Structure 1
């Protein structure tokens, strides 16, 4: 048992002397620095009751400040066009430090030449944080999943 303790101490001294560190130690902040904020995995899923072309807005980045967001929200809310359906989900995984504030996915029917489709698509969205579904919404022409009241 004593040999193990000496070996562990010798290994630690060798690592320190040579500048080697374990990956866990290498990621630690320097003493006195605040630890980085925790990161959360946010998974957005969008489907529709029938195949439809959709426009999807989402947040995959935390704005540095609310004023940065409010001055140009579209910088922090990119959008994609996708065909979704019951067997064709759109899924995006993002990492946010404050998903309660910034997590959001919005889906609506993609307009063609400015006209909104007459038939309802039956959109559905789900937002999960670290694997736990925290919000679901459905609507005939759109759906919004967000924990913040926008």
Structure 2
């Protein structure tokens, strides 16, 4: 028995709702989705990592898939929250490491007030930069 015929016998209202003209199958049925790539640069590390992470859910029906992804995300958020609750500093570890690296790099720079929110920054190598804090430009 085909899936839609089975649905009609199980729940006539659901069958009627899904087969309404304003609700074509391409909007709700995986068999009717257009799977051609819309962007040639679709794969990157983030996409590949996420797709691998949800691999077990990808082939389930849409509601089950979304529920599994939701639960995985909730667990991940809770795990991260638990890790951060043990952290005793005001800044998270990775941004803190970047800040420390930046502090070492600017150790040889001298900032001189240029007027208002602007500063002239002189470097040890002889470079000069005008930094505008309002415009966030350099």
Q: The TM-score by the shorter chain falls in which range?
A: under 0.3
Q: TM-score, normalised by structure 2?
A: 0.22
- Structure in which a larger fraction of residues adopt helix: 2
